[in-house]
Structure formats: C-alpha cells, structure tokens
Structure 1
Amino acid sequence: MGYKNQTSSSDFTLLGLFSFFQTSLVSFLFIFVIFVVTVAENTLIILLILSDSRLHTPMYFLLSQRSSMDILHISNIVPQMLSNFLSDSRTISFAGCGFQVFLSLTLLGGECLLLAAMSCDCYVAICHPLCYAIFMYDSVICLRMTLGSWSLGAADGLVQAVTSLSFPYCSAHEIDHFFCEAPTLVRLACADTSVFVYVMYICCVLMLLVPFSLILTSYSLILAAVLRMCSTEALRKAFTTCSSHLAVVGLFYRAAIFIYMRPKSYRSAAHDKVASAFYTIFTPMLYPLIYSLRNSEVKGALERWRGKCINLKHQQR
C-alpha cells in the first residue's frame, strides 16, 4: 500500500456505523429522532434549573453544565452522521475531523470531572450537612469546579487532537467509524505511534480513572454514613439523591473505559463503534430521563413550569 503525508486539504472518509445501517431511511429517522429528543430533553433541564429558584443549588448548577456538554457532544457527531446518510461521499475535512476529536475529548474529560464534582457535592451534603452551606454554596467554588472541568478537558482534547492529526496517514484515509475518534484515527497512521499510545493511556488515567477513583471513594463514604442513619426518611432521601448519579456514572464510565483503556490487541472496530454509539448518542438521551424520573425536585419544577404555562395560556384568553 502506498503512503503519503496528510495535508490540510485532504479529506477523510467515514465508513459509518455499519454498512447496512448507512443506507436505510429508517436508520436516518431513528438517529434524527434521538438527536431531537436529546437536545429537547437537555434544553428543558437547563431551562428548568435556570427558571426555578428551588433548583439554584450547586448540584443542579453542575447538572446544567452536564446537560450543556451532552447537547454539544451529540451535536458534534450526529449532524455529520445524518449528512453522511444523505450523501454518497461520506467525507469529512481534515479540519472537521480534528475539531471532532478535540471537542469529543474535551467533553469526555469535562464530564468525568463534573461527575467527580457532583459526587463530592453528594458527599458533603450527606456526610457533612452542617458544612454544606459553607463549602458548596460558595459561588467561587462552584465556578472553579466548572471552569476546571471545561479547561482541563479542553487541554486534554487539544493535546490528543493535535498529536493524532500530526502523523502521516495511509493513502486510503478511510476511517472505520461514524465519527473521528482518536483511537480509531491513530490506526490509520503509517508511523510508529507507540509513544502517543502511551501518552494517551496516561491522559486516560488522569481524566478517567482519577475522577472515577474519587467518585468511588465519595460513594463508599456516603454508603458508610447512610448505613449509620437511624431515620428511614433520611435513608430514603440519601438513596434517592445518589441513585440517579450512580446510574449515570455506571453508564458513562462503562463505555468510556471500554473505548479508551483497552489494550490495542483487544480492539475491534465493530465493538468500538457500538460502544461509541452508546456513550455519544444513546446515553445523552437517557441521562435527563434518569434524573427527572428519580428526582422529586426536578419533577416538582416541571409541574410548576407546566402550571405557569397553563395560567399564562388562560390569561391570554
């Protein structure tokens, strides 16, 4: 096979999720509906948190940031994917591919850090409730956690995107994926990538496993505190507060670790595509449902919002 260096004017070809999946109108409509529902759900969560004063707490502020990341994440991938459904070329520009790698890694790392921040919020709320108002209601602390999540995620995304696109690529430029993802892109490199793979593992340890360890530690301490509670009502409230977060953590980390932490010898393009579709397309749609169905405060805010809309409608008549 011939080789040539990648230039800024060259395009990559995205082979898609599966060959049969690319040509089906039903598949297009399925992905389009998921995209619309996901954006609508997360936008609703953000609007509820902004408009309802009872949700102006650190936990819901962090949740609104996660919803913003989910909107960006699915918007980074699905429009290009839908465009490829309608086009025979299925190409993406060099710059567009680099932006997808950068933004997907930025949001992946940012969500890991936000989930860790949310676990710390739960820990302080349950284990040190008297100190909660002092520590977590400090707007500077919340702002620092949010900015830290975005900025560290962006730094990780920038380093990996620039490095992965700096290799010479094989002449086919065919990416066996439905979007540009760093591990898949590196497989096309016609050079020794062992150093970059090692650096990628270090980044994954810092951005995935360190926050995950913090989450496990926080919830281990929460579990110990909950088991010591004598009040059934306090036990129920603590379980309700944490169960939604734990469900999201389980869904998110299972797919992310599968994609970025597996040894190269165990990698399969088909498995990678399924796992990537799970955490980039399907789970952002599930997160708002998990939070709203398991959270009485979110459901209460939704009912109050509906009541305001009904009253406004009656007043206009």
Structure 2
Amino acid sequence: GGGGGGGGGGSLTNGVIQSMTNAASTALRSNSNNNNSDIKTYDKGESHFCTAPIAPPLAAFPPLSTGETPAVELLRRGVHPLELLGIPHLIPKISSVLSRLLSQVHLSVGCLPLFVTVESPLLKERSSNFPTLCLLLRLLPLFQPESWGSRPFELFPLYLLHMDEQIRLAARETVKTLVRCRPDLRNAVAVSLALGLATAAPEDSVTAQREVAAALREVLEAWLGCVCEKTAGECLEVEDGEAGQIDVHRIEGACFAALASLDPETRSTALTIARLTKAVHLALVAEMSCRTNPVISDSIRTTAVAVAVAA
C-alpha cells in the first residue's frame, strides 16, 4: 500500500546520500581489516543480541527545501531512499557489513550501565568505541529491522541506561525515529521499553528508572501524533497489519510496576504513560473505523485527542 505514496518522494539532499556513502565506506574498511572469524554474531536462537541493519541519523538532517521529502517520511511511505537512487541491490550488502560492525562494538562497550561507575584501564581503552556505537545507533532507522536477528529491540533499554550520555541520547532519538518511520514496528518498540521499565531499571537507580520511563512516554506521544496525522489525512503511510496494534496489557502492566517505585517522578510518568496508552488505543480505533464510517471515526478521534490532552 505504501509503494503508491512514494511516487512523490522528491529528491534527497546531498547530505543524506553522502552520509550513507560515508557510513558504508567506513564499515567496509573496518570489516576488511578484521578477519571474519574474529567477529562474533549471534544465532537467531539466542536472545540477547541481534545483528541490526543500519543507516544514517535521520534527525540530524536540516529541514529540506520545497519539493524534497525527508528520508524518514519516505520510509513511512514504505519507500527506501536507495530505491529512489536506483541501487536497492546494495541494501543487503551494506546491512550485512554494518551489522557485523555493530555486533563487534556491542560486545565491547554495549553493556556498560549508567549506575556502574568503576573505572579501569580496560574501560578507558574501550571507551574509544563509544562514538562508533553512537553512530551505529543513529543509523538504524534507514534499514529493515525485520531482517535483524532475534528480538532486536531488547537492547534499547540497555542503551538508554548506558554510562555514556551521547549513547543514551542516540538511543532515545532512534526509538522515536523508528516509531515515526516504521508503523509496523511501533508496538515492538513500545513493548521493549515497557519491559525495560518493569525489569531493566533497578530500584536503587532512580536516574535509570526516569530515563526508561521518559523514553516510553516520548515514544507513545510520537505514536499518537503519527496516528492522528494519518487519520486526518495529513500524511501517507505504508499499510501493515502490525501498524494498527498496541499491546495495552503489557504496557499497562509495566505502568503498574513503575507505580510501586520509590521515586515520585517515576510514578507520575507511569500515570502519564497509562493515559497515553489509552489515547493511542482510541486513536488506532479511530483510524481503522474511518475507512468505513467517517462520522463515528470523527467522534472517536475527538475522544482520543481529549484523552491525550488530559495526559
């Protein structure tokens, strides 16, 4: 359904093309300097790490001039920028190389939580990989996460709690960008953060709880905005069965767990998340119903917006 909307995609800025070229070249050089046997990749049966396809940071690009369409909006329509450039055959190769690089960097510096402050010579040496991991996180949205390994979003809560501030910021930007440009992955992103809120944030780290809770709130706000835009006919979006689903029970369950936190700010954010979850659910119902009964959909959409404002 999204292919038809890509015809008016317009041109891409030189910044997008150059960023993708630089990222691919850097990864290819890095890969050529390493023996494949030295790079560990996880099998699909393993649960902790996935080899993720990667692309350039979308939010970093300046506003585009008239007639041009941002890459994030092209993806939202189901059109990959490399398809418009006539080189879609390069996507699998670039994804494979960059996923190996991400795999290697994650094993080195991916699991350094915010609440661990112990420093060592080894840690200082590995910290040189922080900028690389940060870049790879920002590159994720432009490549198809459905080709990732097992349960790719499990790692986002870890990156949101990383000891390096820039990695935390990159992870937070990435989840919001994914929600905007990949309708079929919105529920997966939200559920991963909900599970992170319930399990990954330890009770003795207030900052960690606040980081994950704030990220989940921002994701739901972005999701609600996207659905309302589509319902109002303000944007084109690829049609996918997963796009209209939200796992209300799992997200609300995480809210209940967060309500038991000792931190008042975390409890307040949990209540906001619960309200936003309801608002997203109502907005999805409105979007689905507008295809058959516009009058009912307007009523439901009005209710959804009212709930969102109250949140």
TM-score scaled to structure 1, two decimals?
0.30
Larger C-alpha radius of gyration, 1 or 2?
1
Q: Which has the higher strand share?
A: 1
TM-score scaled to structure 2, two decimals?
0.31
Q: Which has the higher helix share?
A: 1
